[in-house]
Amino acid sequence: MSSTTDKLKGLANEAVGNVKQGLGQATGNDRLVAEGKAQELKGEAQRTVGEVKDGVKNAADTLTGRR
């Protein structure tokens, strides 16, 4: 997966997770709140993977003189 794809999927998971948490809190559904938090954390991890991939690529480009 490309770094951009990782970052976009991560942002989407974070957004959906936040919505689930809000709905769970509004309806008193603790299970939905927990699912939302888990999805938000998954999204944060995906986004971080994308950012790390960008960092590695930039470092490699710098070392090889491509930048």
Of 9, 36, 6, nearest to 20 by C-alpha is 36
Full-model pTM: 0.83
Helix/strand/coil percentages in the chain, nearest 5: 90, 0, 10
Is residue 66 classed as helix, strand or coil in its secondary structure?
coil
pLDDT digits 0-9 by tens, 7-64? 999 999 999 999 999 999 999 999 999 999 999 999 999 999 999 999 998 898 888 8
| Every domain of the chain and the residues it spans | 3-63
